[in-house]
Structure 1
Amino acid sequence: MITKIAHRVFFILLLVFHSMSSQEAQNDNGKTSFFGYIYSKNYKIPAEKATVKIYLANGHKTFIADENGKFEMPNEYVNNIDYVEVSSIGFEKKVSKIVSDTIFLDDYSNQLSEVIVNSKSKIKDELSFFEKLKSFETNFSWNAKAAVYIPKSNDNKYVKNLLFAVSDFGGVKNLKYLPFKVNLYTVDSLGFPYKPILEKDILVTKTDTEKWTTVDVSKFKVAIPDEGFFVVFIILDGKDYKTDFVWSKHGSIAAVPALKAYKYNKNYIRKSYLCRPYNYALLNKSDAWTLEKLHYMIDIE
């Protein structure tokens, strides 16, 4: 029992470190840097070349985001900012007292603006045939939730099935046959998963060798709302699995089902999000959703 607890604590500490390192990194000079991402609030695509201007007691500094909306600054500035201005062509300027690792900019209301039209034209409703030829496995830990945004369709029919490309991971066989849960979530004001739509999560266990695991939800008569919704894949608590850890070619991993995913395309509208509760267990923070740089293979019929 002590060994299992020690393993779990070690694994949680690794996840906490991974979460913290997502906001800090070392630059070429070995100094710690803070970095974040800037997105369009309406379309959830990166605000390319956005400007982050911070005002300090002794002046100001300006940083430019890259094509993925990522910006970086020395960590020493973060706690000494009087205020910060974030701006980009085609977006309204945002002013704040603090700098965040995820920033959403409002699009200008003038839909005839050439910049807005060009930005919207980049949005893709589908990945290409060639993008779907290559997929890879992604693993999780206990209580993790993976979500994929599904926009409203034109037919407005009830959703019949939820589809999940459940898989093994790292050469470990039969992980895909372990149980998991699914649900549908609403969309919050910033475009993140919010509240469950179904009263209870649906418990699922894969029993075949098909590529897609199908979950029938037709009896719930759910139609996609105007703002869309999320299809959510949920890993159970550690006590609900017979084995805590297994050894894979990537090292020790939680013995839970994995999902397949496609390579990230910043213009694809079906963004993927991940909630890692264990990342925040030792920091006394609530569950938090983060945008993932991949596309989980989750779909609907």
Structure 2
Amino acid sequence: MKFYLQAIFLLLAIQNFAQTTAIVQDSLTKKTIPYVNIWVDNENIGATSEENGSFIISNEALNKTLILSCVGYETKAIKLSHNNQVFYLKEASVQLEEVLVQSQKKTIFNTISTFDLETSTSGFGIQLAPWIVGRYFKYDETYEKTPYLNTIKLATNSNIKGAIFKMVLYVPDENGAPADYLYNEDIIFSVPKGLKETTIDVSKHKIVFPEKGLFIAFEWLTIDKNKFKYDLKDYNSKGYKKAFRYEPTLSAYITPEYGNTWIYLNARWKKFDAISVGKDKGSFSTLAIETILSN
């Protein structure tokens, strides 16, 4: 099976760039917050906080506004003014919907989207910043009989064992862009090495498919654990130099029409553009997701 990336990697040679270290904490408990998505506002510079809440970002970000977002917290814009700065995020207030507990009954499943791994010949990979890629699913009245998200399946390709990824669920705003979090906790999952189908079971969370529709999105974590290091050919010296990128990549398939795929980069959500080069020019890469609902 041929497989190519629609999102082009920026392959970074490992060098000693000038960098700034900072940390993210809960404003009330002062506990560190892992896996925070961090961008320089409207620039292609970003980072993810590590498990201990720390992150490293280019000195180009100094004296610029950072946008920090994380499931369960209010998004915050704040200037990065010095090294070892501490950023505080405020926990988001959430109005929990009442869950009706029913007597035991036979489980009904409803598959509302699927994909064929063999025909998923495109894909999404990141550069150096923590992109989020998501696909919108419209609500249908038939979902009333199976209102809960049960499992999400996607095709992942990883050069390392144990890379981790974040799934984020959004409700669209009036313009159709991803907006409010549907589920207010991180959904972190591990990705196997190689080209595999990865299944995420969310049945225990009782997440109701919203009538406004749903964005199922996946966020790359630019942390040390996800680095894939390799030797990159240097055509100037005719030798090799050390380089890295972040794993994994996600499979997609080519469609002639726009497939409701959106990208979060530069701290902005935007529709994913049509392919601009090659035999598929004018077509679209649609994120390959299998979605199963249940009662």
Higher strand share: 2
> Which structure carries more relative contact order (alpha carbon 8 Å, separation 6+)?
2
TM-score normalised by the chain length of structure 1: 0.47
Q: Which entry has the higher C-alpha Rg, 1 or 2? A: 1
Higher helix share: 1
